[in-house]
Structure 1
């Protein structure tokens, strides 16, 4: 994600520098050049704002997707643990029944 942000920043900076240099070396009046620089600055600002919004939305979507995946994994783990606990309880109940039966048999023999 950081690479994409750096790339976008580099493109925007290069565009802005190129536009400003192009305007400064153009054979226009000073007032016209200042107006064009202001227009280019506004356009670059708007483009940067759009890119920032797109990046924020993309990041929000990625976070929401990751949270949904994590919730699903936690639910799966809890469900598996519940089934395993039920299996352990059933096994222990069966062993307890067996021990009780053995104890009864030993008491009858004694």
Structure 2
């Protein structure tokens, strides 16, 4: 009697929904049937199985925590390396900027000196022209 009701429920679900729901309903039904059969034919007692499942879940949890901690440590290390690299790049840029400014000052001083020499040459040439 219950089996017929279950069959009718599955049939109504598959006929009311579009064709894409049929595989989902079949999968869920298969999972439910497999779970029932697995429990019925389990070679161990339920408490033993639950204990094993609990231990396995704790092991997976510990493994996940360890992996998360490893990722955090790598991120922290990489973050520190990036910070150090940033400082190194900033220092190099500052030293290059200082070198460029020093070079600019040298070129400017040299240009001023050449301009003074040129002005003196022009004055000297003007005096020669005036005196001749």
Bin for the TM-score computed over the shorter chain: 0.7 to 0.9
Q: What CA distance in whole angstroms lies between the structure 2 residues aligned with 1:109 and 1:62?
A: 69
Higher RCO, Cα 8 Å, sep 6+: 1
Q: For structure 2, list consecutive stretches of 5 or more residues without a partner in the other structure.
A: 1-46
Q: Map of 1:99-110 to 2, 5 A cutoff?
A: 99-110=118-129
RMSD of aligned residue pairs (Cα, Å): 1.2
Q: What CA distance in whole angstroms lies between the structure 2 residues aligned with 1:108 and 1:58?
A: 74
Equivalent in the alignment of 1:87: 106
Equivalent in the alignment of 1:18: none
- Hey, which bits of structure 1, 4+ residues long, moved more than 4 A? none
Given the alignment, which residue of 2, 26, 51 partners 1:32? 51
Give the superposition deviation at 1:30.
Answer: 1.3
Q: Map of 1:1-110 to 2, 5 A cutoff?
A: 29-110=48-129
Select the structure of larger CA radius of gyration: 2
Give the superposition deviation at 1:29.
Answer: 2.3
Number of residue pairs the alignment of both structures matches: 83
Q: What CA distance in whole angstroms lies between the structure 1 residues aligned with 2:124 and 2:68?
A: 83
